[in-house]
Amino acid sequence: MKRRTFLKSAVALGGTAIAAPAIAQSTPAIKWRMTSSFPKSLDITYGAAEQFCKQVGELTDGKFVIQQFAAGEIVPGLQALDAVSSSTVEACYTGALFYVGKDPTFALAASVPFLMNPRQQHGWYYHGGGLDMTNEFFKKHNAYGLPCGNTGMQWGGWFRNEIKTVADLNGLKMRIAGLAGTIAARVGVVPQQIAPGDIYPALERGTIDAVEYIGPYDDEKLGFHKVAQRYYSPGWQEGGTVFHTMFNLAKWNELPPLYKKAVEVAAQAATTDMLAHYDTKNPEALARLVSQGVTVSLFPNEVLEKIYQEAEAYYKDITTTNAEFAKIFNHQREFQRKSNMYHRVADLQYDLMIQRLRR
């Protein structure tokens, strides 16, 4: 009798630990909407977020569903973060640099002129404290963000006319995103903040004279080479651009730990995959563009040096007036300095060696 009583008690205790209601509470059915800053035609940038949503669903056995909507389907592309902050949607896929009008600090979460390259960005985010620092800032805008894509080094842009001197930039109306627009304005450029899907019409109509977007693959898809045939490098404005999935902070905090982990894993996978995708597609696209008559050029040193001087002057000013910007910028600059010391005698020397031997 005592043995039967003990077994019944044990089953009862075990049943309490794995009762169906407890399991259901840990994996509730949740459906979120995610608005994008990008059109569906950009299969890598829009597609990275599609991959992210798909993997979140798979990792949660279909219990946590995130449905992505293209720019304009719920809100315009450049209002994606506003929709998250105001709880219009639970999530968005965007570039933080689009919101420098709210605070220049946003650009540091994505990319700013003359700062980190993709490997440095990934090191800083995942092992250098960057994730905590950026989310400390995002919290003030009612959002939580995770890196979910990296474009790699971007290109300097498309121009109708040759850029020979700094004077050739004066009065040039250019679509240029993020903090790069602020820096470009200091050398005479008239920056225009235009959502990706609206760039080509503006270039075709002459509303803008030049444009920088990402790189050969996406730029070819958007058709810039049909209007402007001069393609410049390097992309001084964005050595590598991190895209984000951003979530309404209250909604993020409500998620079960298992779902948060699924989101984190899927976002990091999308970041790695996007960079690999661009590294595969950009060389192919550049070859096609050149075969269609595009002229690939390097910015003159005089131009790059002037822009760099203006960038440094801007950073000196803003780090004395914006404490949040200064905190993140100085941390990134130090991380970049240490990384550059290493890579000057590692990766850079390897690349130079290969170029020399196969010249």
170 with 195, same domain: the answer is: yes
Has residue 7 been placed in a domain?
Answer: no
Within the chain, residue ranges assigned H as helices are 2-17, 20-26, 45-59, 80-85, 105-108, 118-127, 130-138, 179-185, 199-205, 216-222, 249-254, 257-291, 301-321, 323-343, 347-357
Alpha carbons 80 and 88: distance in angstroms, whole number: 10
Residues 6+ apart with CB under 8 A from 47: none
Rounded Cα gap, residues 248 and 88, in angstroms:
9
Q: CA-CA distances (angstroms) from residue 258 to 21, 54, 71, 252, 269?
A: 16, 16, 29, 12, 17
- For residues 128 and 216, membership in a common domain is answered with no
CATH number at 252 reads: 3.40.190.170
Cα distance between residue 199 and residue 98, in whole Å: 14
- Say how many domains are in the chain: 2
* Residue 24 pLDDT level (bands cut at 50, 70, 90): low
pLDDT-derived band of residue 16, with 50, 70 and 90 as boundaries? very low
* Nearest residue to 308 (alpha-carbon basis) of 319, 297, 316, 296: 316
What are the tens digits of pLDDT across the range 104-151?
999 999 999 999 999 999 999 999 999 999 999 999 999 999 999 999
Whether residue 144 is contained in a domain is answered as yes
Distance CA 341, CA 279 (A): 25
pLDDT of residue 26: 80
- Assess if residue 60 is contained within a domain: yes
- Of 247, 243, 277, nearest in space to 56 by CA: 247
Give pLDDT tens digits for 260-298: 999 999 999 999 999 999 999 999 999 999 999 999 999
Q: Are residues 229 and 312 in the same domain?
A: yes
What pLDDT sits at residue 8?
37
For all residues of the chain together, what is the average pLDDT? 93
- For residues 248 and 297, state if they share a domain: no
C-alpha angle with apex 298: 317 to 151, nearest 5 degrees? 70
Structural domain including 223 reads: 157-239+292-339
Q: Is residue 47 part of a domain?
A: yes
Domain for residue 50, yes or no? yes
Within a domain: residue 352? no
The secondary structure of 264-315 as a DSSP string is HHHHHHHHHHHHHHHHHHHHHHHHHHHHTTPEEEEPPHHHHHHHHHHHHHHH
Domain boundary residue among 229, 253, 280? Answer: 280
Average pLDDT over residues 173-179: 95
The residue to which tokens 């993140």 are assigned: 328
Residues in the chain: 359
Residue 10 predicted with pLDDT over 90: no
Percent of the chain with pLDDT over 70: 93
CB 215 within 8 A of CB 45: no
Indicate if 200 and 92 belong to the same structural domain: no
- pTM to 2 decimals? 0.90
pLDDT tens column, 182-197: 999 999 999 998 988 8
119 and 247 in a single domain? The answer is: yes
Q: Is 309 contained in some domain? A: yes
Whether residue 188 sits in one domain with residue 297: yes
